[in-house]
Amino acid sequence: MTEIARPKPRGIYLFTAFERFWHWFQAVLIIFLLVSGFEIHGFYSLLGFERAVNLHVLAAFTLLVLWMFAIFWHFVTGQWRHYVPSTHQMWATILFYTFGIFFGAPHPFRPTTKRKHNPLQAMAYFGFKVAMAPAAWISGLLLWGYGMFPDLYPGDLPVLWVNAMHIAAAFLIAAFLIAHLYLITTGETVTAQLRAMITGWDAFGGEEKD
């Protein structure tokens, strides 16, 4: 008697619809902020200075609102735990990225719904959330406020230093984005991690463990 072929399991459902929405919306906003921000500082001319400034400010406030919703969602759902750095499998993950990946070694970490990110990912995302992003939006708000309401600011406000911090944060975020784009190709297949963030399903996720 011929067996009926059963469909292969889709893996584990790793990323919810809202998680995917804020991830991609955040990515688009950050890329636009980088492009418009570098134009504002004279690296090139695409939109024109005044238009670039206005759109940069609009995108920045949109991103701040998105971050507020995302922060609320992370704490209400408990998803913030995925970004807490851990030393578990840290050395194995470092060895994989520096040596094993070039010789076809299997990735030592498999994501689960209890731990979505490997130790290096968690550390990088944690650094982005508590250092790079706050440095960018705090310095950006100070610069915006200084331009809009200069009389409310002290005369000795180190505007040049605040601007330098904003630019430094922008370069760090740009480097983070480039590294992120590369690292998403280092899963079980080149497109596995990208597909997971599009569909929510990770075909190579690990078994759930208590």
Provide the number of structural domains found in the chain: 1
Spatial separation of the C-alpha atoms in residues 154 and 28, rounded to whole Å:
35
Spatial separation of the C-alpha atoms in residues 77 and 17, rounded to whole Å:
13
Angle between helices 90-98 and 119-127 (to 10 degrees): 90
pLDDT in tens, 60-73: 999 999 999 999 99
Residue 7 lies in a domain: no
Domain containing residue 165: 12-202
Task: State the average pLDDT over residues 33-62.
Answer: 94
Residue 73 lies in a domain: yes
User: What pLDDT band is residue 112 in, cutting at 50, 70 and 90?
Assistant: confident
Residue 191 lies in a domain: yes
Residue 3 lies in a domain: no
Residue 50 lies in a domain: yes
Confidence (pLDDT) at 110: 86
pLDDT in tens, 80-97: 999 988 888 889 999 998
Beta carbons within 10 angstroms of residue 116's beta carbon: 21
Predicted TM-score (pTM) of the model is 0.85
Residue 184 lies in a domain: yes
With CA atoms as reference, report the closest residue to 67 among 37, 36, 25: 25
Residue 5 lies in a domain: no
Residue 188 lies in a domain: yes
Tokens 């001319």 found at:
45
CATH of the domain at 22: 1.20.950.20
Residues with Cβ within 8 Å of 54's Cβ and at least 6 positions away in sequence, in order, are none
**Which of 3-7, 53-57, 109-113 shows the lowest mean pLDDT across its residues?**
3-7
88 and 112 Cβ atoms separated by less than 8 Å: no
121 and 88 Cβ atoms separated by less than 8 Å: no
